[in-house]
């Protein structure tokens, strides 16, 4: 692992026991290994966001902790939006690290004990517009080539528990290269270079298969969810190797409502 020496810190921490868009600010929260934020609605080994539960409640929870940078609030203020810590549903509000530029698998260490592994970008839903009209477009702008730029923070899993307090320093540890840029959190993201091969793949009985392509880097509690040790995944009967997650069901929602 490569260490990046920075001086970022925790600006605010929040949690909420019910499924609401915004979360309540607190002096401190406690991260629990393999689960998330103690007492928070999105804490759990399996998915806790309502849209994910409806799609497949057995999926591993890669959205245990939501982190957001206060630099986004500064940017939104210039566009006429007043947004504060916890308003957009994040658990940890930071100042300093460029969260969106971190590669997948980066580790964020808070204080002495708590460690979060970054799993991907948050993909906000229409609820953000209900909080402030027009905010969804501001949080999901497009670049010069028309590509969506997701700015609404990042998601992670807890690999070491402990308290996180306002003012705690944050140490960023990058994974060994080559690095993969963050994408929206998805249980299975087919690799571009193997997509055509996967589409042609067939089981001995003729059914199409999907190869699990996204590695898991979380704690054993997450790695044990649902794995049966198979090499392939049937849409009807998922089987996939340890270290890989099953894919979302066809047509399932892929945004992150509460």
Please provide the DSSP assignment of 170-197 as one string: EEEEEPSSSP-B--B--S----GGGHHH
Residue 193's φ and ψ, nearest 5 degrees, are: -75, -10
What is the pLDDT at residue 166? 97
Specify the number of domains making up the chain: 2
Same domain, 142 and 197: no
Residue with tokens 């501001």: 138
The Cα 118–Cα 257 span in angstroms is 19
User: Does residue 18 contact residue 211 with C-beta atoms inside 8 Å?
Assistant: no
Instruction: Out of 124, 144, 174, pick the residue that ends a domain.
Output: 174
Residues 126 and 26 in one domain: yes
**Which parts of the chain register pLDDT below 70?**
1-6, 187-258
Q: Are residues 24 and 106 in the same domain?
A: yes
Co-location of 138 and 35 in the same domain: yes
Residue 158 shares a structural domain with residue 35: yes
What are the pLDDT digits (tens) for 102-131? 999 999 999 999 999 999 999 888 889 999
Residue 11 lies in a domain: yes
pLDDT of residue 177: 86
Give domain status of residue 181, yes or no: no
Task: Kindly report the CATH number assigned to the domain that includes residue 126.
Answer: 2.40.33.20
Q: What is the dihedral of CA 52, 56, 57, 60, to 10 degrees?
A: -80
Whether 84 and 193 map to the same domain: the answer is no
Sign, CA dihedral 116-160-51-129, equals negative
76: nearest Cα among 145, 131, 6, 15: 131
- Please tell me whether residues 10 and 133 are part of one structural domain: yes
Q: What is the pLDDT of residue 1?
A: 59
Domain boundary pick from 174, 209, 228: 174
Domain-embedded: residue 159: yes
Would residue 256 count as lying in a domain? no
Residues 12 and 65 occupy one common structural domain: yes
**Is 107 part of a structural domain of the chain?**
yes
Backbone angles phi, psi at 118, to 5 degrees: -75, 125
In a domain, 179, yes or no: no
Residues 57 and 85 in one domain: yes
Residues 12 and 77 in one domain: yes
Separation CA 144–CA 127 (nearest Å):
26
Identify whether 253 is part of a domain.
no
The domain in which residue 14 lies consists of 2-174
Of the three residues 146, 174, 202, the one that is the final residue of a domain is: 174
**255 located within any domain:** no
pTM of the model: 0.72
- Using the CB atoms, write b or e for 82-119: b if 16+ within 10 Å: ebebbbbbbbbbbbbbebbebebbbbbbbbeebbbbbb
SS3 85: coil
- The span from the CA of 41 to the CA of 13, in Å, is 15
- Same domain for 103 and 133, yes or no, is yes
Same domain, 166 and 196: no
């Amino acid at each position: 692992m490569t260490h990046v020496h920075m001086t970022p810190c925790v600006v605010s921490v929040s949690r909420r026991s019910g499924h609401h868009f915004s979360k309540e600010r607190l002096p401190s929260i406690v991260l629990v290994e393999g689960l998330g934020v103690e007492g928070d609605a999105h804490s759990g080994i399996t998915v806790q966001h309502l849209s994910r539960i409806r799609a497949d409640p057995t999926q591993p929870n890669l959205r245990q902790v939501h982190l957001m940078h206060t630099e986004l609030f500064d940017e939104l203020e210039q566009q006429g939006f007043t947004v504060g810590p916890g308003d957009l549903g994040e658990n940890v509000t930071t100042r300093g690290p460029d969260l969106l530029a971190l590669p997948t698998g980066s580790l964020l260490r808070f204080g002495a004990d708590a460690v979060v592994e970054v799993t991907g970008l948050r993909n906000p839903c229409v609820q953000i517009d209900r909080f402030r009209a027009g905010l969804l477009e501001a949080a999901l702008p497009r670049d010069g080539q028309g590509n969506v730029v997701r700015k609404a923070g990042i998601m992670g899993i807890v690999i070491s528990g402990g308290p996180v307090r306002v003012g705690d320093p944050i140490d960023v540890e990058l994974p060994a290269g080559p690095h993969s840029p963050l994408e929206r959190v998805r249980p299975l993201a087919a690799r571009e270079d193997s997509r055509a091969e996967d589409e042609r793949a067939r089981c001995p009985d003729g059914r199409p298969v999907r190869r699990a392509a996204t590695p898991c880097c979380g704690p054993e509690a997450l790695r044990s969810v649902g794995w049966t040790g198979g090499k392939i995944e049937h849409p009807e009967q998922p089987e996939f190797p340890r270290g890989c997650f099953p894919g979302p069901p066809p047509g399932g929602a892929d945004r992150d409502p509460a």
